[in-house]
Amino acid sequence: MKPPMIPFLNLVPTYAASKAGIDAALLRVAASGWYLLGDELDQFEADYAAYCGAAHCAGVANGLDALELALKALGVGPGDEVIVPSHTYIATWLAVSACGATPIPVEPIPATYNIDASRIEAAITSRTRVVLPVHLYGQAADMDAINSVAARRGLSVLDDCAQAHAALYKGRKVGSLARISAWSFYPGKNLGAMGDAGAVVTCDAALDAQVRMLRNYGSRLKYQNEVKGTNSRLDDIQAAVLAVKLKDLDRATAERRHIAARLLDGLAGLPLTLPHVPEWASPVWHLFVVRHADREGFQARLAERGIGTLIHYPVPPHRQPAYAEMGLMEGAFPIAEALHREVLSLPLWPGMTEAQIDQIIEAVRDCA
């Protein structure tokens, strides 16, 4: 008999782990009659800032808005440049473009997939305002090296933490490492809402106040609009759900680490590249990404064995039609291009059984 299919992602066990708390939170907000900028949002913002080891958290509508509003709070606008990874989800770049600024790509370290700090200096010009690293797949970028080049050149660092809730860098929490950090709580993230949600976290009270003003029509006081802001609020239902799920995040992260350890152990010695973890990193395994020379064939063989996989990401931002105007041809960023050709994400989600982990290991061993 064929073993049951293992989907790439299954969010039902994560809901089940906090069901009583989530259900109560949903009903409580429904009955409260207050749905925006209320007590539930205040509470989650306080909880999440404390969790990150930061002073302030401002909830916003999604992760893309979190990046855009953080950049705007830092004063980024038309004519400015922002250093971004060449290998990332396109949202990192889109936020820069939304400010009217230009994303300047920098290649990753192939082993860790994160931006190579030693290449940043060469990309800085008189127009550069911000360095925007991403903690990709749940593993921190080398923040000491990034902060040091930024400080030397008088630049701010905003980190894209969308994939790295609870990740540690040299024992310090992601969210406390840069001047300001942007978060997504998209449902599939390690801390996920039941819809779109995001946040901006910082220790800088002035930046926090700026984000709060921008997210609410550019207004600090009702009907007084200082700038052309936007409507990007994290609603109280999502905030209440997130506050419940935050209590379960450390347990869920431990489960992800257990599954990753089993995969690393069970998949050793195969003709594929396994994730590399520097000694200073404690990743949270948002994604478990391997590289294979014949990625498409490998993915098709796994699909036949009932193993769901995804590609993060098939086309680098500079090769997307959205960025055709930059005129960056094939070969412009060869490390990112090679990664995009080879990466494949295996299933890894809290609630996966030991038998399912065994099934993935067996299938990958046969298909690699």
**Residues binding ligand PLP (CB under 6 A):** 62-64, 88-89, 91-92, 134, 160, 162-163, 184, 186, 196, 198
What are the structure tokens assigned to 53, written together? 């080891």
Name 33's Cβ contacts closer than 8 Å, sequence gap at least 6. Answer: none
Is residue 108 within 8 Å of 313, Cβ to Cβ? no
Q: Cβ 242 to ligand PLP, closest distance in Å?
A: 13
Strand segments, DSSP code E, in the chain are 56-60, 81-85, 102-106, 128-131, 156-160, 168-169, 172-173, 180-184, 198-202, 219-221, 224-225, 281-282, 288-291, 343-346
Q: Cβ 139 to ligand PLP, closest distance in Å?
A: 12
For residues 62 and 238, which CB has a smaller minimum distance to ligand PLP in the complex?
A: 62
Is residue 234 within 8 Å of 61, Cβ to Cβ? yes
C-alpha gyration radius of the chain: 21
User: Any idea what DSSP says for residue 107?
Assistant: P
Q: Cβ 271 to ligand PLP, closest distance in Å?
A: 28
For residues 44 and 186, which CB has a smaller minimum distance to ligand PLP in the complex?
A: 186
For residues 160 and 298, which CB has a smaller minimum distance to ligand PLP in the complex?
A: 160
For residues 186 and 217, which CB has a smaller minimum distance to ligand PLP in the complex?
A: 186
| Of 80, 70, 103, 77, the residue nearest 323 (C-alpha) | 103
For residues 70 and 240, which CB has a smaller minimum distance to ligand PLP in the complex?
A: 70
The closest residue (CB) to ligand PLP is: 63
For residues 82 and 162, which CB has a smaller minimum distance to ligand PLP in the complex?
A: 162
Residue with tokens 């406390």: 176
Q: Cβ 120 to ligand PLP, closest distance in Å?
A: 18
Specify the long-range contacts of residues 227-233, CB closer than 8 Å, at least 24 apart: 230/65, 230/69, 231/61, 232/60, 232/61, 232/62, 232/65, 232/69, 233/36, 233/37, 233/41, 233/59, 233/60, 233/61
Q: Cβ 123 to ligand PLP, closest distance in Å?
A: 19
Distance of CA 202 to the CA centre of its chain: 16
Q: Cβ 162 to ligand PLP, closest distance in Å?
A: 3
For residues 70 and 367, which CB has a smaller minimum distance to ligand PLP in the complex?
A: 70
Q: Cβ 196 to ligand PLP, closest distance in Å?
A: 6
For residues 186 and 298, which CB has a smaller minimum distance to ligand PLP in the complex?
A: 186
- CA–CA dist 243, 311 (Å, integer): 30
Q: Cβ 126 to ligand PLP, closest distance in Å?
A: 27
The 3-state DSSP class for residue 69 equals helix
